Structure formats: structure tokens, C-alpha cells
Chains A and B, each alone.
Chain A
């Protein structure tokens, strides 16, 4: 059995670690490229959102590389994503691929069920080994996210941005190669130390929060690496969600760590009081949460045609006016060149910067 799964940011590193500990052979899809887009788009319904198209591209490229089993997340609720696993299976079957598809659904009741679900994936592993495998995968994920946070912190502050990015890129590669938890921690610690040595700018960076649809936020191939684009413009990015939060809330049902979701939902009141599917409610909640944190601006991102984000988009102007924080929405789709995106981001950053200058509590060297 050769297992593959869709890409989502750095997730493949952690999932690979987990599956390998379950004594499974893993064939991660090749990194998302132009070709992935092309294949995915060719075989997808035109009006589906971008995540489906890229998932499909990932699967086809992985199947070409010899994978025979696909693990995909399921789900329920008004967002189309819950149904994507089924649609993808149908499309792949109609294309004549032979494979087995395993759909991970969030367990209804106990943590025990989840470990059992994962154990049943593995080849002859004990319950204890399955637990250890989860723990190992989780440690890689934790290290990767700690590094992402460091990158977001140092990139806007450092004078030599290329160096910071290089340290990060190398660390990610090394974590992927690491074979023990101790090694993972070692790499994390070393890289953080290295980044902290960088020569810093005197001025404090602007802080901009990113909210929106989860896949778009996690996958740099889809969001044109918006965190780095902003970081290079001397903006510190505050991400509204990390992969571990998402997995914790949706697949692991809050067993691994305390969920911050209830706080986010509470923030959404009174702007939005009920689920609208996908991450609509979280987007609204996070926008308010960021406004309370006094961030300088908030950018909402989502894939074109995403219904929950459209609902959130129509609510955000009220939040912006009430809480006094500038907001902008960016829709990302397969065809958008980066020029338009960069112009809008630059204009937004400039606007936020000038508003702050005008307010008089901020000085930046011209």
C-alpha cells in the first residue's frame, strides 16, 4: 500500500512522519506547480473552488508516481469541501485510475475512536504504536508552526530578508528529513537562534491580520505566499489559524490541545450568530478578535466563489466601521497574476501606514 494525501502548506511533512511510523509507504504528491494547476483544472468542474482543483492535481500527480491509496479529509455542513472527497473519487475513477480512497471523518464521540481509525490505517501496529506515531507527527507539525511564527516575526524586522527566508527554507527541509523528536527540536531551536541573530530595523513593523478560508490561508501555492509578500513589505503578519488548530478542531475534536474556537465564535457576536458553513463564522470572529487586538489592518482571503467567505465579506465592512480597523478582501483564483495582488496589497499597506502616521503615534523613516 502506497499512501498519498493532498497538500496543504507544510502538512505533508507531519503527515508523512505519522504514516511512516505506522509502517506505511508514503508517496506525497510532488510540490504544487503549474502542472498541478493545469491537470486539476482540466479535470474539475469549472465552477468548483480552487481547493478541489488542486487536490485533484495533487492526487493525479501522486498516482502517476505510484501511489495506490488516497487519504482525504471528509466533513459535513454547508461548505462544499465535505463533499470533495466523494467528487474527487468519482472524477479519478472516471479517468480510469485504480486506487483505494480512505476518508477521515471527524470522530463523533471519543479520542479512542480516532486512534483506532488511525491504527486501522497502519500495517500491524499496536494501539500504543499508533499513539506514538500521532505524537511524533504532531511534534514535527509543532516545530514547523513555531518556525512559521518566527518567520512572520523576523521577516518584516530583518534588514536582510533573503537570509531569514533561507534559514526558514533550510529548517523546513531538515525537519522533513529528521528521524527523531529530539532532532526535530534541535533543528527548531538552532534555526530560531540563527534568525534572532539577524540585524534588525529600528522601526516597528505594521501588523496586519489575515483571516479567511482555511485552505487558502495554509497553502502558499494558492495564496501566492501572501505572508512573505507582506513580510517583505515590512509588515508583520498575524495568522488567524494554524494547521494544528484546524486539525485539532476538525479531525481530532479538540483532544490534543485546548481549542480557541469558542473564543473566536464568541467574538463573532453580535455580527454573526450562527454557522454559515466553512469558515465564515471564524472569519467574522477572527476579524473582530484582531480588531480588539488593535492590529493595523485585516486582509480577508478566500477562493473565488467560496460561499461562506462571501457571507463573511458582506459583514466585514460593518466590523471595519464599528471597530475602526481597515479591512480588505482578496479573492484568489487560478488565473490571477501576482501583479494585481501585489498592487492591492501595497496600496492597502500604504493606506494603513498613512492612517497610522496621521494618527500621530507612529514614526517610520521615510
Chain B
């Protein structure tokens, strides 16, 4: 069976999906990046390949997205390297053709995407503050000694959310501590935090954007039932959660790869094959280029002895020194 691989390497999680020609999800793998994207890519891919060998699946195209999209493109060989906005929008618009607003909250960034007739019309990403994102929730959960997967369930038990300042994560935290010392029930505090984060998101990321129904909420944080409820309550409209909300970026990347392969005349994927990624030992190193006063930190990616890619140089001297064939863009 022919299928397409989508990879989304984020700051917190690394997601891998395989979809077939009809956009059906064959398998998804969701693992934590844990600061080591190279290892995450290897692990995630090997988890997927078990299936490939068993069912005789061939990969016809590869799409990568997320902040690690260039790295994963080099390691796997990608046909499409796309930013997260496009990937998420494509995946959501396929599932909900009339979607007008996409709320996406990931590990360290949050975005709002406004669509018109199925294509992106406007978007915004959080700028300087990570207050409303997954990392902050993680941190608060561990401070309250609650498992993050339990966080949402506890929140929805609340009948009366307490009010927590949502402008800034630091203030939100001290407000929470205050409320907890006053003796408010934990569930109400957690729900209050969820509502504060939603207000924070709408004020910072959604600033000046007109949010219209249907709304789709995706990204890892969409797992949190408390936030789902808070969004529905504050927006005053139903919020749709896709079945595979946690890997929507990867699904979008796979769909884009399929789109590209089906449009192109030759069907040669850039995919380097299982062996390339699983057998090789990958090393990254960096050095300061002394070529000019910018003193860029140039990163070099090697597989065994072969240099795969350079990046980090502003002038592109190093990047261009390798053949252009490494870049699928």
C-alpha cells in the first residue's frame, strides 16, 4: 500500500503519522522530544517502521513541519518542508471544510489561524510570552503535584471557577498560590487557571482577530478538557476537537507531501529509506565561523563521516557550500 509520512518535530513533542491515499490515518506516534530531536526522529521513525515491514507499505512522500522541520528533512529526506501554520490549516480544513477559526496550542507556541473559503486568510503567533502554552501547564501541574493527564479531568469537576489573573504567567502563578492558601478547592483553582489562560490567549494571540464559528481547537493542549470547556464558555460557541488533535501538524505535512507528489510529473520521493535513518549514526557539531564580524554559530549535521547539512550562517556561505540537492525546498 502506498502511503505518505508526516513528521512534526516540536519543542516538546515529536509526532509521526502515516496516511494513505484517501487521507486515512494508518498509524500515529506521539513521543516527547526531550531536547534531543535527532534521537526523537530515530525512535519515532523506528516505531512507525515496524508497521511498514509487517504490512508491506511503501512511503511515497515525506512532509516535515514544526520547529525541527529542517533537521528532520535532512535526516529523513523530505519532499515538502512546511511551516506549522500551513500544515495545521491544511489538516483542519480537510476535516472541517467550512472551518473559520483554528486555535492551536502546542508546547511553546500558540497560534490563531483565520480561514476564508478553506484557505488561510490571516494568522498570528504568540510573540514573547509562553504563558498560555503547554509548557506552562506542565509546570503548574507538577507544582500542584497533579499528573498533567489528570489536569483537565479535575478542572471540569469544578462548579465555580475562581478568578485568576491571566495577563502574565508569573502573576497567574502567584494568584494561584494566594487562592490556594486561602483554602479554595483545588478543582476550582485549576478551572480558574484554564479560564485565565483562555483570556490570555484571546488577548495576546487573538488580539484584533474576529473569531467566527466553526472553531477547531487542536495541538497537544487540546487534550485538556478544562481548556476545551473554558474556550467554549468564553467564546460562547461550540469548539470542535479533531479526533487526532495532537498530531494535526504531522497530518497536514503528510497531506502536503501527497499533494506535491500527486502534482509532480516524476514520482520520485526524496525519502532516503529506512536504512539511512535507522542504521546511520548522526552527529551534530557547531563552530563559530570567523569569516566576518557576525561570528555565526554554524551547525553541521553528519551521518557517520558524510556531511549532510550546515545551517546557522547568515550569509549562507556554509549552506551553499554543499550541493543544493540536500534542500528539497
Contact = CB atoms under 8 A, between A and B. Distances in A.
B49 interface: no
B127 interface: yes
Contacts of B117: 358
Contacts of B122: 326
A256 B302 CA distance: 55
A176 B121 CA distance: 44
Given A31-B293, A35-B293, A351 B119 contact: yes
B121 A33 contact: no
Interface residues of B, number: 27
A366 B260 contact: yes
Contacts, number: 65
A78 interface: no
B295 A34 contact: yes
Given A33-B295, A331-B127, A350-B86, A326 B121 contact: yes
A354 B259 CA distance: 13
A11 B127 CA distance: 32
Interface residues of A, number: 27
Nearest to B122: A326
Most buried by A among B67, B86, B118, B208: B86
B294 A351 contact: no
B83 A33 contact: no
Interface in A330-366: 331, 339-340, 343-344, 346-347, 350-351, 354-355, 358, 366
Given A165-B316, A366-B264, A350 B83 contact: yes
Contacts of A344: 125
B120 A33 contact: no
Most buried by A among B83, B121, B263, B316: B83
B161 to A, nearest CB: 32
B120 A351 contact: yes
B293 A350 contact: no
A162 interface: yes
Nearest to A352: B120
A225 interface: yes
Nearest to B66: A343
Contacts of A225: 314
Interface string B246-267: 0000000000000110011000
B83 A347 contact: yes
Contacts of A346: 82-83, 86
A351 B86 contact: yes
Contacts of A77: none
A30 B82 CA distance: 37
Nearest to A366: B263
Contacts of A232: 316
A82 interface: no
B292 interface: yes
A78 to B, nearest CB: 24
Nearest to A330: B127
B174 interface: no
A9 interface: no
Interface of A: 30-36, 162, 165, 224-225, 232, 317, 326, 331, 339-340, 343-344, 346-347, 350-351, 354-355, 358, 366
Given A33-B295, A346-B83, 7 more contacts: A34-B293, A340-B125, A344-B125, A350-B83, A355-B121, A358-B118, A366-B263
- By Cβ-Cβ distance, the 3 closest A-B pairs, closest first, are A33-B293, A347-B85, A366-B263
11 contacts: A30-B293, A31-B292, A35-B293, A162-B320, A165-B316, A224-B314, A343-B125, A347-B83, A347-B123, A351-B85, A354-B86
